[in-house]
Amino acid sequence: MKVNRPANGRWLMADGRYPNSTRPESTTRFGIRSVTCLATLVLSESVSLAAEGSVLEPSNLVSPQTLSTSLPWLIGATVLSIVPAVLLMSTCFVRFSVVLGLLRQALGTPQVLPNQVLMALSMFLTFTVITPVWQESYETGWKPYAQSADGLTAATFEEALPKMLAPIRNFMSNQIETAGNTDGVWMLLDLQRQRAGETDTSEPQDYDDVPTTVLLPAFLLSELKIGFLIGFKLFLPFLVIDFVIASVLTALGLTTLTPSTVALPFKLLLFVLIDGWFLTAGMLLASVH
């Protein structure tokens, strides 16, 4: 077919249409060829596995031999995925993050203080508080169990686990008792007993008799309550500044100005003059007993 070149430099067919490019066609052919090769490899592998022992049959996938090798890996992966959540639940990270989040809201600077900064500060403050507890847990529980592999001790995992959990449980129970949030422990304990049908069991005498499944959520609820109480106390001075600025703007007739925008410099000035960050970090660390 005849192809003409107009004055603008673009090629046209004789009927006035632009010629089709061969690039998409070659790309499509390459993609089809790649998918075909991949499907051939998968099919060949499936045929070879089936020829070896019919591994791909449903009856073999759920056989006791297959499940005995796959279930430990599945359980291990599940446990590793929930370990960070359990570590956060057993530390003061929730308290610190709630307080810093409310402080950011009180200052009115959501863009200046991103979540990464607040989470990093909360994490490092948490490490400062919880490191001695983890060190004690390692020395009393994990270290003897690790030495048993070398034949130095005869500790088993069943014996080492309560020793590893004891310092963490003491830390959580101390925070609950100091904050006066013991009612949450008994509420969760009663609910667990009712669900399990254990209404005739005796009441625990101390926190050592409380199950860990009850102590963890009770501690988390206690930390949330403490965090909101501290955040409320931090919020009040900045709320007063907002009220004063709003009243002044209304009295001057400057209704077009947003009180939060005008109050932001005064909030930052007050926070810097009182050395707010060090006061807040010191107060958070002092709140942990």
SS3 per-residue string spanning 129-140: HHHHHHHHHHHH
Please state the pTM of the whole predicted model. Answer: 0.69
Whether 246 is in a domain gets the answer yes
Alpha helices in the chain (DSSP H): 23-53, 58-61, 64-89, 93-107, 115-137, 143-148, 157-179, 182-196, 212-252, 259-273, 276-286
Identify the helix (H) or strand (E) that includes residue 4. strand 3-4
Whether 254 is in a domain gets the answer yes
pLDDT in tens, 204-260: 778 888 888 888 889 999 999 999 999 999 999 999 998 888 888 888 888 788 888
Give just the sign of the alpha carbon dihedral 7, 8, 10, 13. negative
What residues make up the domain containing 153?
A: 93-102+109-286
Whether 258 is in a domain gets the answer yes
Whether 71 is in a domain gets the answer no
Whether 43 is in a domain gets the answer no
Q: Residue 190 pLDDT > 70, yes or no? A: yes
Provide the number of structural domains found in the chain.
1
pLDDT in tens, 245-275: 888 888 888 878 888 888 888 888 989 998 8
pLDDT in tens, 79-98: 677 777 777 788 899 999 99
- Mapped onto helix, strand or coil, the DSSP state of residue 54 is coil
Whether 188 is in a domain gets the answer yes
Q: What is the pLDDT of residue 22?
A: 44
Rounded CA-CA distance 138/161 in Å is: 11
Q: What is the pLDDT of residue 191?
A: 85
